[in-house]
Each structure stands twice: as C-alpha cells, then as structure tokens.
Structure 1
Amino acid sequence: MKPCSLVGKNMQLNEDTCESNTHNELKIIYIKEEEPNDDEYLYCEDCRCFFYNKCEVHGPALFIHDTLVPMGVTDRARQTLPLGLEVGQSDISGAGLGVFNKGDTIPVGAHFGPYQGERVDKEEAMNSGYSWVIYRNGQCEEYIDAKREMYANWMRYVNCARNDEEQNLVAFQYRGGIIYRSCRPIKPGQELLVWYEEEYAQDLGITFDYLWSKKCSANGYVQTL
C-alpha cells in the first residue's frame, strides 16, 4: 500500500553516543518510523491515494456517526440510523429493504460505520447473508454477523450494488472493523448501494467469495459487478 501522506506517524527514538570527550558528549538521535498496519489507512477519493490520519490536501476524513442505541434493544438496527438516512423498500426487485438518503447530499469521502453485529464462527457466518470477515496478515480472524437486528446497526440493510454505475459506497476494513465510504455523491432520495474494496478481498480467497455471494443472494440477485 502506497500512502500519499504519513503525517502523524508514531516515532521511536534511539540514542547512540557518536563521540565523547572530557568536555561533552555528542549524541545522534535516530528516528525509527513505525509503519502503521494496512487497515489503519484511509483513501481519498479526490487525490486517489491512501493516507494516514489525514489527507495532506483535504484534511481529516469525514465520519458520519450512528445514533447511539444500547445493544439488545428491539429493532436496534433501524434506531441506529444516522440523521438523514431511512430504511425503506429497496429499488432493487426482490432485495427487500434498503437504506435511502432523505437528507442533504452525502459528499464523496463520507465514512459510515463500523458495521456492527455478533462475533460468530465460520459455519454460522457462511449460512448468513449478513456477515463480514475481519482479517489480519491475510488470515481470516473473526466473523461479524448482523442477522439479529437487536445486536446489529443500520448497515445490515444496505444492499449490494449490481453494477459500477449504481455503486455509491465502498466497503473496506479499518482498524479491525468494516467501514463504508461514499465513492460518489449520494443525492436525496437515492439508495445507498455497496461493493467491496479490492484490497480488502484480495487475500481472503474463496472464504470471502462465498460470503459475498451469500450476501448478494440474500438481496435477491446474483453478483455481476
């Protein structure tokens, strides 16, 4: 991953004595930059490059936060909707419910999440249409399933895009969770439709392919993007 900015990186200082005499000591301080994990980067849609902490041109990323609702509350998923979003009948035939923008236009680069649900085993995740996999070092580490609404958030209702033209969200892993980023302006009345970021899926192989196919089939259609 090639970031366009590494502003704000943690740095480790090491001191070595370079030269010493009876009067003073000359010390050189070596700065060792600690590389962030891959899932600590965000992506700027305008600059078309990754950044850490903030884009040098556009500043910090915009995060649109959920409405806070305790876990275990009936119909919790809907209640967590951010201001301006609503759940309604999807425009996609057979997909059931979907999420729509009923507020101002959502700008490119807005972030939603993380996706919330219960941690389940692989078998349960494979049988659900509401699961995402969290990975570390290219290995599947845990599965987040939003099948039960009382332990999920509104992101469970976001449908998969059927093609490039209708996609307006990109799903990716960030700091151990799944985030959705707007890749196009989402106008009032438009449905939010997601597809995954290639870098997120490229190391996960058939496990992710199966989960994604299951998610798309739960929406009532076969993936074609």
Structure 2
Amino acid sequence: MADWDWREINDETLAQLCVFHVPDKPVQHQDAKNRAITSLPLNLTIRPSTEDPSRMGVWSVDYIPRGVRFGPLLGEVQQMNGADCALICPAEAASAGGPSASARNRSASPPLTVAPKKWKRKSNCVVIQVTSPSGGRALKTIIVEDDSRCNWMKFVNVAMTNESQNLVACQIEKDIYFYSIRSIKPNSELTFWFSKDYSQKINYPVSCEIARMGKREETNHDVFFFLSTRKRTHSNHKETRNVANS
C-alpha cells in the first residue's frame, strides 16, 4: 500500500503500515519531576509553536518518514468502571463493532451531546478518553496535566489545516499513539488530527478543517485546546532538545 490515504483506512491497518516505532527517552535517563520534557526522543525538540508563540510545540530535528509511530501518550490514568463506564452509551450493542455513531447517539440517555466526556479540556489540562472497540463505553481517562506523569506528547498541537497536519492520533487497543501520515522535513512542527476510526469513536469531524468551519453541532470546541494549553513555563530555555540518552 505505497499510496495509502490515512482517511480511508482503519486504525488496525495504520498500525500494520508502521515502518518503525520511536520510543521515548529511556525512563532511567528522565528527570522524574519533569518527564514531559525529558522523555523527548532524540529526533525531536520543543520550542514555541508556529500558530501561537505563547504555546510550546514539538518540532522535528531530523527527517521523519511516513508511517512512524510515536507513543503511547502518557498521563495520570483513571480506570472507568460501573456507572462511569456507560457514560458514552448506556446500551452498547452486543454485536461486534456496535451500532453506528448516530444510533449510539439516539440510544443514549440522557441524549448524547457531542462527546461531552471525551478529549475535553479541564481547567489548564486535557482529559483524554479511551473507549471500547465500538466507542460505546469509556474504559479509562488519561489526564494530561502533571509533568511528572506525562510524556512529551502533551506538547503536540492540533493541526489548523489539512496541509499542515502530519500526524494522526489513533487508539490501538487501550493506548493512544501518533502516526506520521506524510514525510516530515527537519525543522517542521508536528501537528495532528484524529484517525477515521478514532474520530468516529469520540464523535469528532473527519478533518481539522471541517471542525474549524464553525460546525459546533458536530464537534466540541474544547478539542482546539487539546495539547495546546501548555504555556511557556520554561522561560529560561528558548528550545529544549535531547542531545544524548545519558
């Protein structure tokens, strides 16, 4: 599938097309008090975002080919059980894959209003929800706030245009990964949108541009704050880059 289009394939196929995985910096070489910065892989750097210089962004140092996997996203994990597990859809279908998104919305009680519990901003942090395969049940939430418990992926910003997007966020089993959907040149900011499968699960538009068209009935405005609320707290460092593993 040399000519694959990420908008037309499922998450399982995306995972199979992965050419290699870029791991975080080894835990033993991270600062336990600031894993968000010190987990950064060697081929990436953190510096002000192009979209808003007051925010930090993740940039490439070297060439990154298409099909590279980053992750998983780390943060404070809260397992969902009992009543909390049914927040998305109380009556998830028993059949494999479950009902369509529209059917899930109709069956929810109270009516589902654009994924209120998924990928939402909470104060100055982000709450990410991991769902069941059909998207009908919440399995766990990942709170991206505490720098001692998060990794560098918290600094990756949402793409503002289809042209600028170079990553896609996927749920593989019970984790969130980023995959490069095109080759990324050195000195490029990494930005993402959601994969076809994952966007259906969390009830977001299929592209960042559709979301930006103001169709608030189709999306949650808080998505634009996802991983974009990190202000420049490290004022003494114009750029943060890992140059060695030790």
| Fold conserved between structures, TM > 0.5 | yes
Which deviations, in whole Å up to 9, do the C-alpha atoms of 1:71-113 show, x marking residues without a partner? 881111111111110111111125510001112x100000000
Q: In structure 2, do the counterparts of structure 1 residues 209 and 141 end up closer, same or farther at CA, with 3 Å as the change threshold?
A: farther
Q: Measure the CA separation in 2 of the matches of 1:54 and 1:161.
A: 21
Q: In structure 2, do the counterparts of structure 1 residues 53 and 155 end up closer, same or farther at CA, with 3 Å as the change threshold?
A: closer
Query: What residue in structure 1 maps to residue 131 of structure 2?
Result: 135
Q: In structure 2, do the counterparts of structure 1 residues 54 and 130 end up closer, same or farther at CA, with 3 Å as the change threshold?
A: closer
Query: What residue in structure 2 maps to residue 98 of structure 1?
Result: 57
Give 1:79's match in structure 2, choosing from 38, 60, 71.
38
Q: Does structure 2 retain, via aligned residues, the 8 Å contact 1:140–1:204?
A: no
Which deviations, in whole Å up to 9, do the C-alpha atoms of 1:164-194 show, x marking residues without a partner? 0100000010121000000111111001011
Please identify, of 178-187 and 134-143, the stretch whose mean Cα deviation from structure 2 is larger: 134-143
Q: Percent identity?
A: 28
Q: Does structure 1 retain, via aligned residues, the 8 Å contact 2:22–2:69?
A: yes
Q: Measure the CA separation in 1 of the matches of 2:14 and 2:45.
A: 30
Q: In structure 2, do the counterparts of structure 1 residues 45 and 95 end up closer, same or farther at CA, with 3 Å as the change threshold?
A: farther
> What is the CA-CA distance between 1:202 and the residue it aligns to?
1.2
TM-score, structure 1 normalization = 0.65
- Tell whether 2:44 aligns with 1:107: no
Equivalent position amino acid for 2:26 in 1: L
> What is the CA-CA distance between 1:145 and the residue it aligns to?
1.3
Q: Does structure 1 retain, via aligned residues, the 8 Å contact 2:156–2:227?
A: no
Q: Does structure 2 retain, via aligned residues, the 8 Å contact 1:54–1:61?
A: no
Q: Does structure 2 retain, via aligned residues, the 8 Å contact 1:72–1:151?
A: no
For the residue of structure 1 that corresponds to 2:27, the secondary structure is coil
Any stretches of 5+ residues in structure 1 without a counterpart? 1-43, 221-225
Alignment of 1:3-22 (within 5 A): none
> What is the CA-CA distance between 1:131 and the residue it aligns to?
2.7
Alignment of 1:37-186 (within 5 A): 46-48=3-5, 49-50=9-10, 55=16, 61-69=19-27, 73-93=32-52, 96-103=55-62, 105-120=63-78, 126-128=121-123, 129-136=125-132, 137-138=134-135, 139-186=137-184
Equivalent position amino acid for 1:189 in 2: N
Which deviations, in whole Å up to 9, do the C-alpha atoms of 1:22-65 show, x marking residues without a partner? xxxxxxxxxxxxxxxxxxxxxx674444556985xx7x641111
Equivalent position amino acid for 1:212 in 2: V
Give 1:197's match in structure 2, choosing from 181, 191, 195.
195
Equivalent position amino acid for 1:195 in 2: W
Q: Measure the CA separation in 2 of the matches of 1:181 and 1:68.
A: 20
Give the number of the structure whose residues are more often strand, by fraction.
1
Where relative contact order (Cα < 8 A, 6+ residues apart) is larger, the structure is 2
Q: Does structure 1 retain, via aligned residues, the 8 Å contact 2:119–2:129?
A: no
Q: Measure the CA separation in 2 of the matches of 1:193 and 1:115.
A: 14
Structure 1 outlier segments of 4+, above 6 Å: none
For the residue of structure 2 that corresponds to 1:195, the secondary structure is strand
For the residue of structure 2 that corresponds to 1:86, the secondary structure is strand
